[in-house]
Amino acid sequence: MKGISIVNTGYYVPERRVENEVFSKTLQTSDEWIVSRTGIKARHFVEEEATTTLAYKAALKAIEGIDKKEIGVVIVASMTNDYLTPSTACLLQKALGLQEDIIAFDLSAACSGFEYGLSVTRALLYANKKRYGLIVGAECLSSILDFKDRSTCVLFGDGAGAAVVEKADKLYLDLSGARGNQDALYVRRDEQILHMRGRDVFRFATTVILTSIERLLNEAKLSVDDIDYFILHQANGRIISHVYKKLKAPASKFYMNLDEYGNTSAASIPLALSQMNEKKMLKRGMKIILVGFGGGLTYGANLLEW
């Protein structure tokens, strides 16, 4: 099997913690309203840091103990890149002191970016002589929020998650998809403000998550019981609870940290994955399914063996 294995992970969130009560001072909302509809209690916002900085701090942890000369691919998934060019990945290559004979670029798939990134990195590694690939999801979403719009500004946070992967003869399957839609979730270049139709995204998410999981399980000839953890994009607690109820799976198999970090877009799943790794929840041989969904509209899913 031409699969990949996650070797190491890292994450970083800004120090500034913003609780729901902060929004109730300027908007017609409350902690109870936000928690009951989303499960989010707090999020972290940058003060002076940039997306590249967040990516660097997460990646620095992920590459601990890794031979930097053997990193042949760097992908940064983000919708809040600091520049149109150079890419955040190129700036990260320099900041980390990686060699020049490397493929480095940014990937734009919104909240599905990390899952897309795993798929792309796998393909590139098998066309590459080097051993490792580095995938980072990093976002400064506070830079594109309208803080007068309670339907969006209370949902999102800033942060970064990173993973180093290598070629491995382990179980690995992936799928991805796109459903072109510029109305459900978008940011116009001339405006730089995030707009979202929550109901449209909710309907899309609950459909594609379930179908993605079913497709992966069918291809692998596995059942829900065979999967140790499902790590879904941390957008809304209601979405995640809807999924595990439909699958008739225990909630304990669905890791959630959105109560503390909110929706961090492309950083969401690698941040959760890194925290689980840090807590030693992940053991070698475990089977994990990752599912992301977001603007595009896009979705991506990966079944891998830890």
Is 158:14 a contact under the CB 8 Å cutoff? yes
- Asked if 233 is an active-site residue, the reply is yes
- Please state, in angstroms and rounded to a whole number, the distance separating the CA atoms of residues 74 and 137: 11
Say which of 20, 90, 233, 277 is annotated catalytic: 233
Catalytic one of 20, 263, 277, 302: 263
Counting Cα atoms < 13 Å in the Cβ hemisphere of 196 gives: 27
Residues 6+ apart with CB under 8 A from 74: 89, 92, 93, 98, 102, 103, 104, 105, 133, 134, 136
User: Phi, psi (5° rounding) for residue 77?
Assistant: -95, 125
Which member of 111, 153, 236, 277 is catalytic? 111
> In whole angstroms, what is the distance from residue 261 CA to residue 235 CA?
10
How far apart CA 103 and CA 84 sit, in angstroms, is: 18
Sheet holding 229-232, edge to edge: 172-181, 296-305, 287-294, 229-232
Give catalytic status of residue 195 as yes or no. Answer: no
Of 227, 162, 205, whose CA–CA distance to 11 is shortest?
A: 162
Tell me whether residue 263 is one of the annotated catalytic residues. yes
Residue 37: how many other CB atoms lie within 10 Å: 16
The strand pair at 159-168 and 132-139 is best described as antiparallel
How does DSSP assign 257-278, residue by residue? -HHHH-B-GGGHHHHHHHHHHH
3-class DSSP state of 53: helix
User: Any idea which residues carry the catalytic annotation?
Assistant: 111, 233, 263
